[in-house]
Amino acid sequence: MLIGFVIGDADRRRHHLISAAPASVLTPQPATRNLLPAGKTLPTRNANGKTGPGQQLCLLPEQRVAADVRPKGASVTDTLTGRTALVTGAGRGIGRAIAVGLAQAGADVLVTARSAGELAETVAAIGAAGKGAGHALAVAADLAADRQRQRVIQAGLARGRVDVLVNNAATVEPLGASASIGAGDLRQAFELNVIAPAALAAAVVPGMLAAGWGRIVNVSSGIAANPGSMIGGNAYAATKAALEAHSRNLAAELAGSGVTVNVYRPGGVDTAMQAWIRSQDPARIGAALHERFQRSYAEGSLLTPGASAAALLGHLLGPDSARTGAIWDGAGTVSAGDDGAPGPARRAAAAGSGAGRPDR
């Protein structure tokens, strides 16, 4: 099984595991601590020690055998063997679990994140994904930077085309009172949370259209449905709402082409982002926001990354696979989208009714 990295100069300076050689394919060393016996699974626990119902252990860096994070008991109708997937924000958490699940479904997976060290762990997890799993390639990049984003695009298209794109990378910053947020910080949030997913989609859609098949999933947040629920997170709410609008508009544009675009709201998940928010000074991000994240953690109500990833894969690989313009909220569906009616017909109907016209 091929596992490797494509890296840049900045990554070599930051991570001792990267050699000073030109950007190339590197093979990480296998982990040697706390190995699980072959086929062994354990109950999944949140970071506060509480076990989630019916969940399986998501691969940790020290394990050699990856738990299967594909949906259990779901009707899987799609196989990804022979296809290439690109997952952003794949260095840890939900992104890593999604990447492993796609590999277990047979896809070759290109993973990207800012940290080469975290990507090494993801590549190792895919390498341990078992018989029939796809290959892994990693590109360390900051997707908010156009030049680095282009490096990811080039790596994906070098394989011929990208068949599955999961835009998971995001930032919750800047947090705090809206009047205290500078335009530069706000611009950076839109660059990563909105512009990067749109740019990646624009780059891979032509190949998908030529093949008559493609899947794009943009990972959003429940805040898009209730923006007022996260006071102090104005930038996050605005960018996720924009991402959902982009997704559904693009889905309508591509309807009937075989290329689907859907939104996934992962629910409250025990990720590094959540931990980071809990660690912040309440005076900076707002006491109410800080208390809300502390409470959800203390109550043990957060999902594991593996559980959330399995819910997404249940949609992507199951009966919902051909739907487009849907909003998937965990294992449920907020908006079902459509089943692929021809794009021109849908556009004509919308134009005739006046629905969806901008206010100005």
> What 3-state class would DSSP assign to 170?
coil
What are 169-206's pLDDT values in tens digits?
999 989 899 999 999 999 999 999 999 999 999 999 99
Comparing 351 with 177, the larger pLDDT belongs to: 177
Question: How does residue 87 score in pLDDT terms, banded at 50, 70 and 90?
Answer: very high
Question: How does residue 120 score in pLDDT terms, banded at 50, 70 and 90?
Answer: very high
> What CATH number has the domain spanning 3-18+55-270+303-352?
3.40.50.720
Question: How does residue 331 score in pLDDT terms, banded at 50, 70 and 90?
Answer: low
DSSP label at residue 324: B
Other beta carbons within 10 angstroms of residue 37's beta carbon come to 7
Selecting among 5, 236, 297, 328, the annotated active-site residue is: 236
- Is 236 a catalytic site residue? yes
Other beta carbons within 10 angstroms of residue 54's beta carbon come to 10
- What mean pLDDT comes out for the span 75-101? 89
- What mean pLDDT comes out for the span 150-161? 95
- What mean pLDDT comes out for the span 31-39? 28
Are 128 and 65 a contacting pair, CB within 8 Å? yes
- What mean pLDDT comes out for the span 82-101? 96
Are 3 and 102 a contacting pair, CB within 8 Å? no
Could you state, in order of their start, the residue ranges of all structural domains in the chain?
3-18+55-270+303-352
Residue type, 120: A
Task: Tell me how far apart the alpha carbons of residues 18 and 22 are, in angstroms, rounded to a whole number.
Answer: 10
Task: Tell me how far apart the alpha carbons of residues 166 and 206 are, in angstroms, rounded to a whole number.
Answer: 16
